[in-house]
Amino acid sequence: MSRFLAPLTRAVTYTRWLHLLVGAIIALVCGSVYPGLTRPGYGQWALMLLIPVPLLMAAAVIPVVRRAEGLQARLMLFPGAHARVEDGSGPREAGVSVAPSASWRDRGRTAVWLVLRLWAGCAVAFVTGQFMALALELVDATSGGPAEAESLIPVPGHGWAYALLVPVPPLVLVGVVALAGRLMASAALGLLGPSAAERLATLEERTEQLLERNRIARELHDSIGHALTVAVVQAGAARAAADPAFTDRALDAIEETGRTALEDLERVLLVLRESEQPASRRPTLTEADRLLDSARASGAEVDAEVLGALDTVPGPVSREGYRILQEALTNVLRHSGTVPIRVAVTVDDARLWLDVRNPLPVGAPVNGQSSGTGSGLRGIRERAALLGGRARTGPDEGQWRVHVELPLG
């Protein structure tokens, strides 16, 4: 019983009901001109269903009509999370396209939808009128008054017993309307659903969003991870040294590294908020000295060699190269401490090479540099692969080596 009465409590039942009734308006407008609405016969009702069809098919050729119908379907057939949708799966408005017609196939599907909406709307309008008329006749039969409404189902006689039947027509009507609305919603998903080109565009957009999120995650990992590693190493070294001058230098390095990390964090947050304010410029390899000085300030001995003009490296390659170098240095400080580091950056006409070496820790293997499976090393390999390059990380003749090769074109 509760399942039968459930459509009464669902907002979607009534929004779909209204959507169906609106579809019958054009038939009533055309019928008021010809053949007229004064006691029409069955033949005249048929004309009212057929006369608007050419007009609807002509309207379907206009691209924006598909968009208008899609918006109505989303609003009224799938009214959102606040409505209790019948199938229990929640709103499915994403299955209805709101893009204008882009092909004749879209126009044809729109034409079929408009005709279906016309006929379904007229049928629901007729059923609504009949069931409401029957309910009024039952009220008249209960009160003993003259029957003023006319329905196809006659009510014989009078009597108080008819009072028990008065709620039946409205309840049956709601059930019929709920079923019709559900069928209409399914038809909308088929006829107003996205075309193959729209589905492909949506898939590409989602793929781009996932790639962007992965890139942002790598940015945060590299930037914030580097800042925290430098801060921890600097603080530990300052405490062990117990030298005021060294402590001052350590605090300066922590401040500079923290400020850079905050700038990176602000830029990423601006991207995530989709703010109209342009995000800050991402650092490039021309600013690699900042990374090297930060590592030196942590107590590590850094021997750097740069061959070639860094300012000739294309922007995307230079930005990713900066992050790769940042993560490589962070990896050394995090897992090996303040050990000697050798950095080589080479640029020629076709490629960029980054090579970072440091002695392996003495004794038991250290997790990031022994296995090569840390998230930072994985990020280095992913960045290189996205640019069409290669990255090798692992032990090499008693040293830990990060070797990256990136194409410039």
Predicted local distance difference test score (pLDDT) of residue 203: 64
Structure tokens of 110? 């729109």
Match 């490629």 to its residue by tokens: 351
Contacts of 249 (CB under 8 A, 6+ apart): 297
CA distance 383 to 378: 9
Pairing of strands 351-359, 390-396: unpaired
Strands of the sheet containing 302-307, edge to edge, are 302-307, 341-347, 351-359, 399-407, 390-396
DSSP 306-359: EES-GGGS-HHHHHHHHHHHHHHHHHHHHHH-S--EEEEEEE-SSEEEEEEEEE
This prediction's pTM: 0.51
Predicted local distance difference test score (pLDDT) of residue 3: 67
CA quadruple 274, 375, 336, 319: dihedral sign: negative
pLDDT tens-digit profile, the chain (409 residues): 566 677 788 888 999 999 999 999 888 888 777 766 666 666 777 788 888 999 999 999 999 999 999 999 988 998 764 333 344 444 444 578 888 888 888 899 999 999 999 999 999 998 998 898 888 888 888 877 665 556 677 777 677 777 888 888 888 999 999 999 999 999 998 898 887 667 666 666 666 666 666 666 766 766 677 677 777 776 777 777 767 777 777 777 777 777 777 766 666 665 565 544 444 467 889 988 888 888 887 778 899 999 999 988 888 889 889 889 988 888 888 788 788 999 999 999 889 999 999 988 765 454 445 554 556 788 888 888 888 899 999 898 888 999 999 998 7
CA quadruple 326, 331, 334, 336: dihedral sign: negative
Q: Which of 238, 166, 192 is nearest to 70 (CA)?
A: 192
Contact 28/11 with Cβ under 8 angstroms? no
User: Helix count (H) and strand count (E) of the chain?
Assistant: 14, 5
Burial pattern 281-297, b for ≥16 Cβ within 10 A else e, equals ebbbbeebeebbebbbb
Q: Is 10 helix (H, G, I), strand (E, B) or coil?
A: coil
Predicted local distance difference test score (pLDDT) of residue 60: 93
Q: Which of 67, 123, 137 is nearest to 96 (CA)?
A: 67
Secondary structure string (H, E, C) spanning 201-227: HHHHHHHHHHHHHHHHHHHHHHHHHHH
Beta bridge partners of 400: 358, 395
Q: Which helix (H) or strand (E) segment is 407 a member of? A: strand 399-407
64 CA to centre of own chain:
24
Pairing of strands 351-359, 341-347: antiparallel
Distance spanning both ends of the chain, measured CA to CA: 70
Predicted local distance difference test score (pLDDT) of residue 363: 58
Q: What angle do the packed helices 25-33 and 42-50 form, to 10 degrees?
A: 120
Pairing of strands 351-359, 399-407: antiparallel
Beta bridge partners of 403: 355, 392
List Cα–Cα distances, 383 to 210, 279, 285, 289, 352, in angstroms: 15, 21, 15, 21, 14
What secondary structure letter does DSSP report for 48?
Answer: H
Contacts of 319 (CB under 8 A, 6+ apart): 282, 283, 284
Predicted local distance difference test score (pLDDT) of residue 396: 85
Torsion of CA 207, 208, 212, 218, to 10 degrees: 50
CA distance 393 to 367: 13
Predicted local distance difference test score (pLDDT) of residue 280: 47
